[in-house]
Structure 1
């Protein structure tokens, strides 16, 4: 998927574990199929997970999670990863890696949500609790700054997607997000609430994974499940549960769109899972934007402001 990606397989993981964590040397190793783009994941025995950066840019993620996950865990309403070991470079692998507790659950899938209302409620509960975290020294969230910082990459992606999607409507939706009022304050955000980072059971949220992008930033960052996972029918409940104002909602739609526009051309040949979700997000955002335009036109034709 990336230039400079490390070669990682089950044999490497077995060697690393045997050399550095002999207490787990006899456990089986099995790669975990994932649409994740930065880390490779392997199940170790029945109760552990090994997480290895694919690229050098993921090294700081391992160290960040090792520091912050134990501090977040007692403050959140669902399970999150629990680090139990920090590995070192070795056996030909060049970077630190980690061992975490295994968490049972099924990866959430857009278009196959069993309990949309329940999942919307659970997601809102997690987001609300994470915003309320009061831990000092938090880093800036990876995607938590002003939307203008994403403008160049978003427009470049739109050029690559000419003939692939409705780029004219996508640009209009993006510019509506840029025009929205900025965040009044930074709060704790996960920053990457993609379906692949959400575990469910019986349609309800049971765990949130991958806190590499977490930090202080725009609260709109954690509203992206409204577009990448929840059906349109469940969005109002999600928004209402978090008391989201118009500007924040429009920024969240823009953030979800920007991520998807950048992901689609980059991953459409190398990561079918990410590419499929990116296309889903684009379709959902453009449909929502067009519904808004239609509603505005109808209201204005009646002589009322939307």
Structure 2
């Protein structure tokens, strides 16, 4: 998926885990097939999982992620991983890597779960709980989404140019032109910062999906209060989105700014992963469909 991506076979993963964490050396290992784009994932026994960064990471970076994970878990009303340990780069793998607790559940699906108003209410509860966390004087770190929408202007323009065969480019361009100018709707709050379906675990009975876990929480930190609203556009159809909006209490600017962040993220998925990761590209396409057919947003384009 990425130039310079690190590879790791199962035997090497087992050797690395046993060397760094001897107490885990006898546990069975299972590679986890995932649409994720950041780590090779290996389940360790029933309760742990090892994550090997595809593009490399330092011990300091993973230590920061571990602290963010534990802070997120302490605030989340739903299960989330906790850090177990970190391994330094070595001859066997030129990147630091980590082990964390496993969280049970099924990945949320933007088609199957789109109409679940119970899931929408759960997501609102999650976002509200995260916003209640103390920022403790911290500010947005400047990485990725969650700062100034206009910082992403060049990237979105490039994505639109690459995606004309996949989406209605003129209509999308017109919508972005309006969304990118929206001002912040308040002070930054603590945010997951990547609430996509691939990071949300669901359970439930009789087809009623409920949120039961949250993954990839190492980016937990201050960001635009609208950022976590991307979950509404990535996962839910219009009636369920309205439930989330009402429960969170999002006003017009905040709601539309959440749509802007979803637009920015989706456009990066649509074309970039078209060949290398079709499920990720499909997520981008379904999100863009929701954005481009939403009645409120259509009036802006």
Compute the TM-score of the two structures, normalised by the length of structure 1.
0.91
Q: Residue 75 of structure 1 corresponds to which residue in structure 2?
A: 75
1:44 aligns with 2:44: yes
1:174 aligns with 2:176: yes
The CA distance in 1 between the partners of 2:14 and 2:284, in whole Å, is 34
SS of corresponding position for 1:206: strand
1:18 aligns with 2:18: yes
Match of 1:224 among 230, 251, 270: 230
1:107 aligns with 2:107: yes
CA contact (8 A) 2:56 2:96 kept: no
CA contact (8 A) 1:38 1:54 kept: yes
Q: Residue 302 of structure 1 corresponds to which residue in structure 2?
A: none
Gaps of 5+ in 2: none
CA contact (8 A) 2:203 2:211 kept: yes
Gaps of 5+ in 1: 298-306
Match of 2:296 among 280, 292, 297: 292
Q: Residue 217 of structure 2 corresponds to which residue in structure 1?
A: 211
CA contact (8 A) 2:40 2:53 kept: yes
The CA distance in 1 between the partners of 2:215 and 2:57, in whole Å, is 18
The range that moved more, 64-73 or 7-16, is: 64-73
The CA distance in 2 between the partners of 1:296 and 1:188, in whole Å, is 29
The CA distance in 2 between the partners of 1:248 and 1:19, in whole Å, is 48
Quick one: structure 1 residues 38 and 137, their matched pair in 2 at CA, closer, same or farther if it must change by over 3 Å?
Answer: farther
Quick one: structure 1 residues 156 and 129, their matched pair in 2 at CA, closer, same or farther if it must change by over 3 Å?
Answer: same
CA contact (8 A) 2:69 2:218 kept: no
Quick one: structure 1 residues 41 and 116, their matched pair in 2 at CA, closer, same or farther if it must change by over 3 Å?
Answer: same
The CA distance in 2 between the partners of 1:164 and 1:47, in whole Å, is 40
Q: Residue 201 of structure 1 corresponds to which residue in structure 2?
A: 203
Compute the TM-score of the two structures, normalised by the length of structure 2.
0.92
The CA distance in 2 between the partners of 1:293 and 1:111, in whole Å, is 21
The superposition leaves residues 256-280 of structure 1 with CA deviations (integer Å, 9 ceiling, x where unpaired) of: 1111111111111111111110110
CA contact (8 A) 1:38 1:58 kept: no
RMSD: 2.0
Q: Residue 304 of structure 1 corresponds to which residue in structure 2?
A: none
The CA distance in 1 between the partners of 2:61 and 2:241, in whole Å, is 30
Q: Residue 131 of structure 1 corresponds to which residue in structure 2?
A: 131
The CA distance in 2 between the partners of 1:73 and 1:168, in whole Å, is 42
Q: Residue 146 of structure 2 corresponds to which residue in structure 1?
A: 144
The CA distance in 1 between the partners of 2:162 and 2:287, in whole Å, is 17
Question: Which protein has the larger Cα radius of gyration, Structure 1 or Structure 2?
Answer: 1
Aligned residue pairs total: 295
Q: Residue 272 of structure 2 corresponds to which residue in structure 1?
A: 266
The range that moved more, 149-158 or 133-142, is: 133-142
The CA distance in 1 between the partners of 2:296 and 2:114, in whole Å, is 27
The CA distance in 1 between the partners of 2:114 and 2:155, in whole Å, is 34
How far the C-alpha of 1:128 sits from its partner, in A, is: 0.5
Q: Residue 165 of structure 1 corresponds to which residue in structure 2?
A: 167
Quick one: structure 1 residues 150 and 112, their matched pair in 2 at CA, closer, same or farther if it must change by over 3 Å?
Answer: same
CA contact (8 A) 1:188 1:215 kept: yes
The CA distance in 2 between the partners of 1:148 and 1:169, in whole Å, is 19
The range that moved more, 23-32 or 178-187, is: 178-187
CA contact (8 A) 2:120 2:244 kept: yes
The CA distance in 2 between the partners of 1:138 and 1:11, in whole Å, is 41
